Amino acid sequence: METNTKNTGLALVVGGSSGIGSATAQLLLDRGYQVHIIGRDSERLLKASAQMPAVITHQADAGDPEALVQVAAGLGAIDILVVTAGGAEGMGPFADLDLAALRRAFDAKFWAQVVTVQAVLPYLAPAASITVVGAITARSAMPGTAGLAAVNAAVEALVRPLAVELAPRRVNAVSPGFVDTPWWSGIPEPSRVAYFEQAAAALPARQIAGPEQIAEAIAFVATNRNVTGTVIETDGGARLVTI
């Protein structure tokens, strides 16, 4: 990929120390942005810093508004805010769904994204963009994903009203499907590989996405001045089939 060395603005990626967030930080860096990332895991931040030396890291919890304000206030005007914060809970058959785990899932993703956007809002440039990350479970009908569907539907429901309320700042979401990221790390590797192979065979795109492909969609909505109030589906066709 050709690197644009021109500084085109300042980007803040919350949840940017691994997976989709890290890939987004790298892509925005390649496109010439000054990139800051926020993460809560110090080891992941150190790893991200080693992989992307030009990125500036900050340790903070996306659910902690005071910590977020402290970081944002020291950056100057933020042109791009990307929020990829999330957790790994909330999946399972509805009859047996652990409601305490589902509440934690809302805290880790929905509330973390709401808290982040509200805390950082005063520090955004007048024409800044805000991009949140949901998931295709918000609109698919896969058994065992009712909890995830509720969390991601709540995230994506923010987009249209905020796009009008916060204009001329732009608000969008990206809605991934199956992505090979650390989100799946709780599943033993042989089982994960077998499941990915089965899912890829059923998907119209015939592949499991990498985080870089989702980052491309995030960069598109974050940088295109004519896109707002939109949820971009980048799911390989998962919403079209039964898996």
DSSP string, 195-239: HHHHHHHHSTT-SPBPHHHHHHHHHHHHH-TT--SEEEEESTTGG
Residues whose CB is less than 8 angstroms from the CB of residue 151 and which lie 6 or more positions away in sequence, other chains included: 90, 102, 105, 106, 109, 110
Checking if the pLDDT of 3 tops 60, the result is: no
Write out pLDDT tens, residues 80-97.
999 999 888 888 999 999
Checking if the pLDDT of 2 tops 90, the result is: no
Cα(174)–Cα(179) distance, integer angstroms: 13
Q: Which residue has the higher pLDDT, 134 or 185?
A: 134
Q: Domains in the chain, start-ordered, CATH in brackets?
A: 10-178+210-240 (3.40.50.720)
Average pLDDT, the chain: 92
From 58-62, 168-172, 202-206, the region with the lowest mean pLDDT: 202-206
**Hey, what are 8's tokens?**
């085109």
Checking if the pLDDT of 172 tops 50, the result is: yes
* pLDDT for the residue 1: 39
What is the average per-residue pLDDT within 168-187? Answer: 86
- Kindly report the number of other CB atoms within 10 A of residue 150's CB atom: 16
How does residue 25 score in pLDDT terms, banded at 50, 70 and 90? very high
What is the average per-residue pLDDT within 94-115? Answer: 95
Write out pLDDT tens, residues 138-151.
988 888 999 999 99
How does residue 162 score in pLDDT terms, banded at 50, 70 and 90? very high
* pLDDT for the residue 4: 44
What is the average per-residue pLDDT within 38-58? Answer: 95
Output phi, psi for 93, to 5 deg.
-55, 140
* pLDDT for the residue 7: 57
Report percent pLDDT > 70 for the chain: 96
Pairing of strands 10-14, 78-83: parallel
Single out the residue of 81, 79, 52, 55 nearest to residue 68, CA to CA: 81
Checking if the pLDDT of 196 tops 70, the result is: yes
